[in-house]
Structure formats: structure tokens, C-alpha cells
Amino acid sequence: MTSVYPPSIKPSPQRLLILCLLALFIAAPFAVYPVFLMKGLCFALFAAAFNLLLGYVGLLSFGHAMFFGFSAYITTHAAKEWGWTPETAILLGVLTAGVMGVVTGWLAIRRSGIYFAMVTLAFSQMMFFVALQAPFTHGEDGIQGVPRGHLFGLFDLGDNVVMYYFVLAVFTGSLMLIHRIVTSPFGQVLKAIRDNEPRAISLGYEVERYKLLAFTLSAALSGLAGSLKALVFQLVSLTDVHWHMSGEVVLMPLLGGVGTVFGPAMGAFMIVAIQDYFSEAGSWVTIIQGVIFVVCVLLFRNGVLGVLAPALKKRGIMV
Amino acid sequence: MTGDFIIETSGLTKEFKGFYAVADVDLRVRRHSIHALIGPNGAGKTTCFNLLTKFLSPSAGKIWFNGKDITQAKPAAIARQGMVRSFQISAVFGHLTVLENVRVALQRVEGTSFHFWRAGTSLEHLNARAEELIGAVGIAEYRDIPAGELSYGRKRALEIATTLALDPEMLLLDEPMAGMGTEDIKRTAELIKRVSANRTILMVEHNLSVVADLSDTITVLKLGRVLTEGSYAEISDNPEVVEAYMGSGHGAEGHG
């Protein structure tokens, strides 16, 4: 099947689908409450960042709340107390999460499986304690009333619709970056390590370095998601660094489809939608969530997108 | 002293809580030869392999590769110095295509393996070389199939192609024929012979007719120690070997 088009300008069904989705998201704030959409996008980014590690390196972290939450604390502190512009405040948060990723990752990647999960959980519990005790995080109160500020000094993010487009732009860019990472030469080595680590070593790859870079990228992008979410809600609290958050981000890719770029984002939207639309159900939300999770894991072992994948592949929509 | 021997060990020992899997082994592998390591189950052949490639650390003894002390080196570093191993259980990257499997080996020397911002298409110039390699082992038609879906024999062929992609000076093959049918064995033996030109091969193999056919030198291990060493004719005349290997009065011939 040779095509007359060079691959780069071939109007592939996949590209069309992504453009349609993008158009849908651009139009969405006029039909759906923008804050709900922003929450969905932030968690979708968090899930995609987390999946970089779970789906492409095969490492299950149980401490990603520390990157998500701490980046949020740093960003909100910089924006509120130091009056930084949103983009610089976010950048500082992302850098903090990245540095935390290097340090905790450097120790955690020496283990795998349940031990890796436990080491990351231990670090995140330590960071939870810091968030509880450090003066700048304001303990139980959290940081509230954070100004969203003006993006590049020009766009007033106080307007929900403007903020939405900012979040959508960051989300789109980040997902493109993640897609690039997993298809890059680096991504090839990651997949090789995931499939057969001893073999990757025997080919001369120092696998720890690759895992550490993946861990750091995942941490930094999780931080980006946390910072964005904090600016959307203009607050950060202990919920954002709590281990519940680390657990939720495990569910999202599992629901949507591990090892795909869009699956985790889909799973995130499902969870956020359940939380928001069933919020009157009170504590039943967690039960509904649990039932859906059990059903999904039993019926679609590769997540919802994993079930759709064969049909999409047949139509050339997914590669 | 990059002399006659590419690998030398002295007093190589590996102890697991009082059990000596490998004890005081002095192994010398002649450059550009095919050297086989044989012995009954539990003789320490695979442990020996893991020690040489640094997947295990020796309890005592030293290892030299090309005259360089590699006793403390890391496994990935060994591979980069030109000594590459295969595994007993066929080691392929199951979710990558056949072509990508070989390309993963080729791309390491490119120096772009940490470039997470670079497009995957930047690796496409390696395709021609990768196709050549998978052609050489007879699996060219499976180019775009995930390696996990290949039959056992083809997985092993792919593994050899991937190993050869690194153009190693020294190859360590851990039971390259295990689980293969007669047809595959013949093809793989020919392949090993072909790639042994300008290379050194050390292999563990149970199929004695293959060992007889290919090897220049054979080292027989028993209970972690070297029993004897020599050409196939020499060792098969040794009653100790026959006894150790077969555990009975049968000849070593015909075991497969």
C-alpha cells in the first residue's frame, strides 16, 4: 500500500480525529461549565504524565501526588506572596517537581514492582508531612484566594473562558510533547526496557539513566498539571498532596487504557465526570467509582481505549 | 597484553550462601575461536556466563577482557566494550516490531538515545542496515510484525540479528539451539559459523553434535569446576567426561 502523499501531509484519519476533538474542545466552554472542563484537562494531563511511567517504563508509582501537590504549593505561593506572573509561577512549580523527581527517582528506580511503589509512597508521605508543617503551605488551611494574574501581562486569566483556553493550550502542547517522547529514540529505548530489561542491559544501555529521565519528565509534567489545577481553583490544599491523589491517578490510566497517549486522558475525564455529576450522591460517589473500576478491569483489561483500539486501527485512526 | 586470549579468568568463584556454583575456574578463550562450555545440569555454565557478562558479581577471582580487568565493570559497560551476550530464554522486545528490535541495538551508537524531543523518524536512516541484518537470519518477511508474535525459532533468529547489530568482538551465546527443531538448528549453526569470522564466540550448548561441529575448544564443567578442556576428540575420549556428562556408561555421542 504505497501512498502518493509523503507521510507528513497525508490526511490521516488519526489527524482528522484529533482535529475534530480539538475543535470540540475549542467550542466546549460555550456549552459546558468551563471550570469542569479545566478540571478534566488538568487531571487528564496528570494521568498522561503518570502513564509515561506506568505505560512506557512499566513502573507503578504510588507517590505522584507529591509532584502534583508540591508544584501547586510553589506556584500558588509565588503567585500570591511574591506576585509572580502565572507563567513564571508555573515554571517554578514545574522546576520544583522536576528536581524532586530527580532526587526521589534516583533512589526509587533502583527497585521495581511493589518495592518501587512503596519507596515512592514513602517519599510522598514525607512530602505530605512537610506540606502539613511548613509555614508557607499554611497546613490545614492551604493557600487560598490565589490570583490567577495576567498571562504574559496581557491576558486576564481571571476570566474563566480565557483561563480555559490557556489550560487547553498547555494541555495540547503537553500531550504533543508526551507523544513525541514516546515515539522518540528515547521512547524506543524505554519500550525496550519495559519489554525486557536484562536484554536492554546486554545491548549496552544503562537502564537506570533512562528510567530516571522518564521519572523526571513524568514528575515535571505532573507538577505542571498540579500548578494549572491550583490556578484554576485558585487554591491548593492537603488534598493535592494526599495519597488519595496518588491512588486516583493510578485509576485513570487503568480505566482509559495504559500504554496509549490518549487513554489516560479519557480515564481522567471519566473519573472527574463521575465526581462532579454524581456529587449529590455524596459518599456513593466512591462506590460508583469502585463499581465502574471493577467492571472496567474485569471486562476491558486494556482500558476503554484498549477495547476501541482494534476498531480504530482497522479504520486507520490509531497507529 | 592483547595477545592470544580475549577472555581470561583466574580463580573465578561464585558462592551462594555456602554453595559454590562456580569454583576456582581459570578460563581462557582464544581470540577468533569458537569455544564451548558444556557440562551436566547444575555444572555452573550459566552462572559462569552471568559472571563473565557481569550480570552477577564474582565472590572471588578476576576477569580480563582484551587484557583489561573487568571484574568490577557494569553489565552495560561490558556490552559497550564489545562483549554481548544472548539469553537462555529468547530475549526479544515483544511489543516492538522485528525491525525496531534490531534498530534499538543499532541506535545506541547514534548517541541520540536520550533525545526525548527528537522525532522517531530520525532513526529511519538505520532501516537499511536493520533490514540487511534481519535478512541475513532469514526473517525479512516479518519486518513489521511485533516480535512477541514470532515463533520460537524466529525469535532466536531475531535475537542473533539484534546481537550482531552491535558488531560485537565477542559473542556469548547461552544455549542458542535450545527449543529449536532440526531445521532451525542447522540454519542457526551455519549462521554461527558465518558470524564467527573475525569474532570470538563462547557458547553454552547441550546439543553435543552442534558442539562437535562448531567448537574449536571445549571446556567441560562439573559441579562448578573445570573438569577438562580440549578439542571434541580429546574430551570425548576422556572417561571422566563421559561419566560426568552422562552419569552412566553411555557414550557422549548422540545426546541431543
Cβ contacts (< 8 Å) between A206 and chain B: which residues? 74, 76-77
Residue A107 lies in a domain: yes
Residue A199 lies in a domain: yes
Interface touch A181/B108, C-beta < 8 Å: no
Instruction: Select the residue of B108, B119, B120 nearest A204 (Cβ to Cβ).
Output: B108
Compare all CA atoms of chain B with the CA of A195 and give the residue at the minimum distance: B93
Question: What is the C-alpha to C-alpha distance for residues B216 and B212, in angstroms, rounded to an integer?
Answer: 8
- List Cβ neighbours of A209 (8 Å cut-off, separation of 6 or more): B114
Name which of A199, A260, A302 to mutate to probe chain B: the one with the most chain B Cβ atoms within 10 A of its Cβ: A199
Helices (H) and strands (E) in chain B, counts: 9, 11
pLDDT digits (tens, 9 = 90+) for B201-241: 999 988 888 888 889 999 998 888 888 888 888 888 888 88
Question: What is the C-alpha to C-alpha distance for residues B180 and B152, in angstroms, rounded to an integer?
Answer: 7
Residue A216: which domain range? 35-243
Cβ contacts (< 8 Å) between A199 and chain B: which residues? 87, 91-93
Residues A204/B79, Cβ–Cβ less than 8 Å:
yes
C-alpha cell at B236: 570425548
pLDDT top residue among B16 and B249? B16
Q: How far is B190 from chain A (nearest CA, A)?
A: 23
Contact map slice: A 259-318 vs B, CB within 8 A: none
What ipTM was estimated for this complex?
0.82
Instruction: Select the residue of A177, A195, A201 nearest B93 (Cβ to Cβ).
Output: A195
Interface touch A184/B75, C-beta < 8 Å: no
Structure confidence at residue A316 (pLDDT): 60
Cα dihedral B95→B97→B103→B108 (10° resolution): 0
Q: For chain A, how are helix, strand and coil distributed in percent, rounded to 5?
A: 75, 0, 25
Pairing of strands B60-65, B5-16: antiparallel
Instruction: Select the residue of A183, A200, A201 nearest B120 (Cβ to Cβ).
Output: A183
- Of A22, A50, A47, A64, give the one whose Cα is nearest residue A264: A47
Its pTM stands at 0.85
Q: What percent of chain B has pLDDT over 70?
A: 94
Place of cell 559497560: B77
Residue B20: C-alpha distances to residues B25, B43, B71, B172 (Å): 11, 10, 18, 22
Domain total for chain A? 1
Question: What is the C-alpha to C-alpha distance for residues A8 and B249, in angstroms, rounded to an integer?
Answer: 69
Interface touch B55/A180, C-beta < 8 Å: no
Q: How far is A193 from chain B (nearest CA, A)?
A: 8
User: Which structural domains are found in chain B, ordered by start?
Assistant: 5-246 (3.40.50.300)
User: Is the per-residue pLDDT at A5 higher than 70?
Assistant: no
pLDDT digits (tens, 9 = 90+) for A15-26: 788 888 888 888
pLDDT digits (tens, 9 = 90+) for B99-123: 999 999 999 888 888 889 888 888 8
Q: How far is A223 from chain B (nearest CA, A)?
A: 19
Average pLDDT across chain A, whole number: 87
Cβ contacts (< 8 Å) between A183 and chain B: which residues? 119-120
Read off the pLDDT of each residue in B58-76 and give the average, rounded to a whole number.
91
Read off the pLDDT of each residue in B125-145 and give the average, rounded to a whole number.
90
Residue A28 lies in a domain: no
Residue A209 lies in a domain: yes
Pairing of strands B19-25, B5-16: antiparallel
Interface touch A203/B53, C-beta < 8 Å: no
C-alpha cell at A195: 519489554
Interface touch B122/A198, C-beta < 8 Å: no
Structure confidence at residue B144 (pLDDT): 92
Q: What residues form DSSP beta bridges with A263? A: none
Read off the pLDDT of each residue in A35-41 and give the average, rounded to a whole number.
92
Any idea which of A7-11, A312-316, B209-213 has the lowest mean pLDDT? A7-11
pLDDT digits (tens, 9 = 90+) for A256-297: 888 788 889 989 998 888 888 877 777 787 888 888 888 877
Q: How far is B174 from chain A (nearest CA, A)?
A: 13
Name which of B46, B93, B109, B123 to mutate to probe chain A: the one with the most chain A Cβ atoms within 10 A of its Cβ: B93
Cβ contacts (< 8 Å) between A195 and chain B: which residues? 92-96
pLDDT digits (tens, 9 = 90+) for B87-104: 877 789 999 999 999 999
B213-235 b/e (C-beta count within 10 Å ≥ 16 → b): ebbebbbbbbebebbebeebeeb
Residue A208 lies in a domain: yes
Question: What is the C-alpha to C-alpha distance for residues A161 and A165, in angstroms, rounded to an integer?
Answer: 6
Q: At what angle do helices A160-183 and A34-54 cross, to 10 degrees?
A: 20
Pairing of strands B200-204, B34-38: parallel
Name which of B88, B104, B112, B125 to mutate to probe chain A: the one with the most chain A Cβ atoms within 10 A of its Cβ: B104
Read off the pLDDT of each residue in A38-57 and give the average, rounded to a whole number.
93
Residue A158 lies in a domain: yes
Interface touch B93/A196, C-beta < 8 Å: yes
Question: What is the C-alpha to C-alpha distance for residues A13 and B166, in angstroms, rounded to an integer?
Answer: 38
Structure confidence at residue A10 (pLDDT): 54
Name which of A53, A177, A203, A212 to mutate to probe chain B: the one with the most chain B Cβ atoms within 10 A of its Cβ: A203
- pLDDT tier at A98, thresholds 50, 70, 90: very high
**Residues of B engaging A, defined by a Cβ cutoff of 8 Å:** 53, 55, 74-77, 79-80, 84-87, 91-96, 100, 103-105, 107-108, 110, 112-120, 122-123, 162, 166
Residue A150 lies in a domain: yes
Helix, strand or coil for residue A145?
Answer: coil
Question: What is the C-alpha to C-alpha distance for residues B77 and A208, in angstroms, rounded to an integer?
Answer: 13
Q: How far is A277 from chain B (nearest CA, A)?
A: 38
Residue A203 lies in a domain: yes
Instruction: Select the residue of A180, A184, A204 nearest B166 (Cβ to Cβ).
Output: A204
**Dihedral (CA of B137, B140, B143, B149) sign:** negative
